[in-house]
Amino acid sequence: MIYIESLQNNKIKRLVHWIKKSSLRKKDQIFLVEGEREIQRAIKSGYHLNELFLDEENQKNINLPAEKAFFCSKEIFKKLVVRSGTVKALAVFRRPNRTLDNIQLPKKPVILILDGIEKPGNVGALMRTANAVSVDAVIFSSLKCDPLSPYSVRNSLGGIFNTPWFEANRIDVIKFVLESNLKCFLMDLNGADFNFEQNLNEAYAIVLGSEDYGISNEWSRIAAEKVKIPMDGIVDSLNVSVAGAIILYEFRRQRKNFGK
């Protein structure tokens, strides 16, 4: 058992840098996962565990690979996690490189495209829903945040690990949509109310844009239908993760019904 009680320990100093800088995590091809449940789900989904850091108080009560574990004093561990006090494990995983060249789809897929989203918490919430409804793929298109940040992983409840996801820039994603002959919904405040009676049993992509700026004008290159969730009150929009969940569950409802 290796015990760490100094903030000057090289492993701890490296962890602190990773926590503060998403660019450094990407450069070093790693991501961080907090919480025993989320770590177990990452391992079960085939992600490669590099290192594990545990709160010293949790030596006997955790079901994780002990051979890769380092035990930290309580004071040090508090400085390493977002959910201080409730989390007793922090893991470093190898970051996979998933491009559009790796994507494999069924005949009539449902693809969720997250384009330019800025908040990792929203990415995580959408990945949680995407996993719940079993979308065929999620594409991270020119995101303004790290989709594998601790905030995203936390909000996904680890669902991000069990959902096929891929990363690309917007131009390549638009090209992919065109070449794949996907019908496309662009979620847009200026779009028409989404028609819940239409037949969704075809190959579709659903594009959700930036929280502040919406869908990029570059998406005008494709023949897509701009839609929004019908709103009856004084507010004119929903959080992007809520709007995405409504659309995804309508796809799930119809696909389940058509399968009977």
Which of 43, 61, 94 marks a domain boundary?
94
Residues 87 and 207 in one domain: no
Both structure tokens of 38:
């989320």
Residues 13 and 126 in one domain: no
Which of 59, 94, 129 marks a domain boundary?
94
Residues 49 and 141 in one domain: no
Domains contained in the chain, number = 2
| CB distance 167 to 140 below 8 Å | yes
* CATH number assigned to the domain comprising residue 65: 3.30.1330.30
Give dist(CA 252, CA 255) in Å, integer: 5
154, pLDDT greater than 90? yes
Give dist(CA 147, CA 114) in Å, integer: 10
Residues 88 and 116 in one domain: no
* Radius of gyration (C-alpha) of the chain in whole angstroms: 20
Q: Which domain holds residue 183?
A: 110-259
Residues 131 and 242 in one domain: yes
Which of 34, 69, 94 marks a domain boundary?
94
Residue 100 belongs to some domain of the structure: no
Containing H/E element for 226?
A: strand 225-228
Residue 103 belongs to some domain of the structure: no
pLDDT in tens, 196-216: 999 999 999 999 999 999 999
Residues 185 and 240 in one domain: yes
155, pLDDT greater than 70? yes
Residue 99 belongs to some domain of the structure: no
Question: What pLDDT is recorded for position 66?
Answer: 80
Please state whether the predicted TM-score (pTM) of the whole model is above 0.85: yes
| CB distance 110 to 204 below 8 Å | yes
pLDDT in tens, 71-108: 999 889 988 988 766 788 999 999 999 999 999 999 99
| CB distance 114 to 208 below 8 Å | yes
**Residue 260: pLDDT band with limits 50, 70, 90:** very low
Residue 124 belongs to some domain of the structure: yes
Residues 80 and 160 in one domain: no
Residues 89 and 195 in one domain: no
- The single-letter code of the amino acid at 215 is I
* CATH number assigned to the domain comprising residue 148: 3.40.1280.10
Question: What pLDDT is recorded for position 84?
Answer: 65
